[in-house]
Amino acid sequence: MDGAGCRLKSRATLPRTHYNTKFNKTYPSHAMPNSHDIADCITENLNQYFRDLNGEPPSNVYDMVLFQVEKPLLKRVMDECSGNQCRAAEVLGMNRNTLRKKLVQHGLLTS
């Protein structure tokens, strides 16, 4: 799942606002990624993955996809938050300890 040919648009085409229930904020549409672009990219890569199997049974597809999506997400948010794990955890909507665990799993932080 290398994402070759997949591009995320710079401006979103989601509804005018997106509601985040955890922090009770409303975000302008230009601040949100286009979920259809992300979904299309994942679908395109999954289609290629299944073609490449040539009849072999797939396994652990869910974990594989999450791992591929999660690492760049974590890296980008950590960069945006200048390495501040508390802020990054807030941005991601997760507990700081959960974030630390995921950063270690992805090799983005040494334990």
Alpha carbons 21 and 41: distance in angstroms, whole number: 26
Q: Where are the domains of the chain?
A: 6-58, 60-111
What integer pLDDT is reported at residue 49 of this predicted model? 95
In this predicted model, which residue has the larger pLDDT, 27 or 57? 57
Cβ proximity of 18 and 32 under 8 Å: yes
Q: How confident is the model at residue 110 (pLDDT cuts 50, 70, 90)?
A: confident
pLDDT tens, residue by residue, 28-40:
555 555 657 888 9
Q: Is the pLDDT of residue 25 over 90?
A: no
Superfamily the domain 60-111 falls into? Homeodomain-like (1.10.10.60)
Per-residue pLDDT, averaged over 89-110, amounts to 96
Residue 50's contacts (CB-CB under 8 Å, 6 or more residues apart) are 58
Q: What is the pLDDT of residues 39-87, one digit of tens each?
A: 899 999 999 999 999 999 999 999 999 999 999 999 999 999 999 999 9
